[in-house]
Amino acid sequence: MEKLLEEKRQGEVLKTRIISKNSKKLYIESFGCAMNFSDSEIVASILSNNGYNTTTTIEEAELILINTCSIRDKAEQTVRKRLEKYNALKRDNPKMKVGVLGCMAERLKHKFLEQEKIVDLVVGPDAYKDLPNLLAEVDQGRDAINVLLSKDETYGDVSPVRLNSNGVSAFISITRGCDNMCTFCVVPFTRGRERSRDPKSIIDELNDLAKKNFKEITLLGQNVDSYLWYGGGLKKDLAKASEIQKASSIGFAKLLEMCAVAQPKMRIRFSTSNPQDMSIDVIKVMSKYENICNYIHLPVQSGSNSILKAMNRQHTREEYIDLIKSIKKIIPDCTISHDMIVGFPNETEEDHKQTISLMNEVTYLFGYMFKYSERPGTLAERKLEDNVDEQIKKRRLQEIVDLQQKHSLIRTKEFLNKKVEVLIDKQSKKSDNYWAGRTEHNKVVVFPKENYKIGDFVNVLTEQCTSATLIGKAIEYSKNN
Ligand code: SAH
Ligand code: F3S
């Protein structure tokens, strides 16, 4: 089962935007996580003040930027193929410049420019504000690189141009980087240490989105529960903050509450939660405010304690199950999804069975499942051998994907023959006559369009379902409308 949002959007190009003062053309394509898609809109915003309009026609672009992902080897290979394609285009159009943004820029640094000579520009995730200077370097015939990771960059002062938005849902990034150091994960190396964004700028962005008629926001971070604002700086430097700063600091539960109160009609989601950092306060805030969606993406990665330990996840299987019990106690209808990795070094058949039994115990609504992919520089790569045979990884992945399919059907059926509130966000892929939207529990629902429109909150009576989708018919506008 693939990451619904992510896989679908791989290789998405930012839509054309024309501001008459601008004459140069930028083609920007994004891969990877939601944060990358959000970052590309920040980059478009920065470059629109420097003479660039976005275009979806690659041949007419003077500048091609590719926002890259390093999370698994496959992601990097996809980007490499794209770079070959761009280089072929460059041979026909020597004026065209190509730049690499994002996690691969950070991971491979000088390699693209110096050894492989396949790009003109390499810019890491914290250096986008330097793009105008770097482009000036390129214009003068010099290679340009900035892969410095920052202590305080959050782009809180850049208003992203939401070019690819449906006008209904938007992401608001609240933290950057990650301090967790899961041993398999490259993110702490490519995105640096964790820092939080000024809550005032988050609320300003939320209010601005409400004014523009957006109906749903997702607060975004690698590890949202660890959000902590004490006036700026790295989370790990908190000890150096003054007593006043510490006393007035704002954590995730408080931020969530501030958002819920600021826009009581806006649906509020967040992603992603790391179980070790998710507090009971957050769950209580969720239960207190109706506009915070009763859905949590709670990656666990494995059901085996020894694998969890080797992954440096700071909780046991039992603690994870306790957390889920607390969630269900406080919010009985809360749905939960997961991320799981199979084939981590030394994973035995018994460990794999533990993963299956954890899935059986929780019965997740859906999940994102992956084969372990060794990432250079991570602790797992340095200390452990990638010793689970590829065929075994494949088989284990298939087993959990099949199991999840069954569980998804069970969970989806719980919403059958019920009245559910749906926020319409697009046309159904299957039929032009149907709308598609999601419930607060993150279930996709499709139903005949009638006179409803994108952005409406509609009560739908569900009549049939597959494991992923509910099918029904609209009854009325919901009171939220
Ligand atoms: N906290 C992050 C996690 C980022 S990576 C978030 O915001 O979602 C997303 C998922 O990719 C992880 O939860 C993990 O399941 C998977 N992943 C990360 N590194 C991986 C690797 N080396 N091999 C396979 N899967 C990996
Ligand atoms: Fe990666 Fe673990 Fe952080 S999965 S993004 S190091 S929480």
**Is any ligand 1 atom within 6 A of the Cβ of residue 187?**
yes
CA-to-CA separations, 424 to 37, 173, 436, in angstroms, rounded: 21, 23, 6
The answer to whether the beta carbons of residues 223 and 178 sit under 8 Å apart is yes
Judge if 127 and 19 occupy the same domain: yes
User: Which among 401, 405, 403, 424 is positioned nearest to 413, based on CA atoms?
Assistant: 405
Cite the DSSP H helix spans in 98-214.
Answer: 103-108, 131-139, 187-190, 199-211
Q: What CA–CA distance (Å, rounded) separates 56 from 19? A: 15
**Is any ligand 1 atom within 6 A of the Cβ of residue 165?**
no
Judge if 111 and 200 occupy the same domain: no
Judge if 55 and 81 occupy the same domain: yes
| Ligand number, closest to the Cα atom of 376 | 1
Q: Ligand 1, atom 14: nearest CA belongs to which residue?
A: 339
Judge if 276 and 218 occupy the same domain: yes
Judge if 49 and 75 occupy the same domain: yes
Judge if 109 and 241 occupy the same domain: no
State the CATH number of the domain containing residue 339. 3.30.750.200
User: Which among 147, 195, 172 is positioned nearest to 263, based on CA atoms?
Assistant: 172
| Threshold 0.85, pTM exceeds | yes
| Ligand number, closest to the Cα atom of 180 | 2
Q: What CA–CA distance (Å, rounded) separates 72 from 84? A: 19
| Ligand number, closest to the Cα atom of 218 | 1
pLDDT of residue 129: 96
**Is any ligand 2 atom within 6 A of the Cβ of residue 188?**
yes
pLDDT of residue 9: 66
Atom of ligand 1 nearest to the CA of 299: 13
Residues recorded for the chain: 481
State the CATH number of the domain containing residue 461. 2.40.50.140
pLDDT in tens, 324-337: 999 999 999 999 99
Amino acid at 227: Y
State the CATH number of the domain containing residue 239. 3.30.750.210
CA-to-CA separations, 206 to 47, 160, 341, 440, 450, in angstroms, rounded: 23, 12, 34, 18, 31
Domain termination residue (choose one: 293, 312, 330): 293
Atom of ligand 1 nearest to the CA of 178: 1
Q: What CA–CA distance (Å, rounded) separates 245 from 184? A: 34
**Is any ligand 2 atom within 6 A of the Cβ of residue 222?**
yes
Domain termination residue (choose one: 293, 321, 342): 293
Judge if 446 and 465 occupy the same domain: yes
Report the run of H or E that residue 325 belongs to, with start and end.
helix 317-330
Backbone angles phi, psi at 279, to 5 degrees: -100, 160
The answer to whether the beta carbons of residues 225 and 194 sit under 8 Å apart is no
| Ligand number, closest to the Cα atom of 311 | 2
Q: Ligand 1, atom 1: nearest CA belongs to which residue?
A: 222
Judge if 306 and 281 occupy the same domain: no
pLDDT of residue 7: 39
Judge if 136 and 12 occupy the same domain: yes
**Is any ligand 1 atom within 6 A of the Cβ of residue 70?**
no
State the total domains in the chain: 4
Judge if 80 and 156 occupy the same domain: no
Domain termination residue (choose one: 384, 413, 442): 413
Per DSSP, the three-state class of 172 is: strand
Q: What CA–CA distance (Å, rounded) separates 110 from 379? A: 22
Judge if 352 and 326 occupy the same domain: yes
User: 103 is written with which tokens?
Assistant: 């996690």
Host domain of residue 436 = 419-477
To test the pocket of ligand 1, the residue of 173, 185, 300, 369 to mutate (highest count of ligand atoms within 8 Å of its CB) is 185
State the CATH number of the domain containing residue 11. 3.40.50.12160
**Is any ligand 2 atom within 6 A of the Cβ of residue 33?**
no
Q: What is the pLDDT along the chain (481 residues), one digit of tens a residue?
A: 333 333 346 778 877 777 777 789 999 999 999 899 999 999 999 999 999 999 999 999 999 999 999 999 999 999 999 999 998 898 888 889 999 999 999 999 889 888 778 899 999 999 999 999 999 999 998 889 999 999 999 999 998 888 778 899 999 999 999 999 999 999 999 999 999 999 999 999 999 999 999 999 999 999 999 999 998 889 888 888 888 888 889 999 999 999 999 999 999 999 999 999 999 999 999 999 999 999 999 999 999 999 999 999 999 999 999 999 999 999 999 999 999 999 999 999 999 999 999 999 999 999 999 999 999 999 999 999 999 999 999 999 999 999 999 999 999 999 999 999 999 999 998 889 999 999 999 999 999 999 999 999 999 999 999 999 999 999 999 988 8
Judge if 105 and 25 occupy the same domain: yes
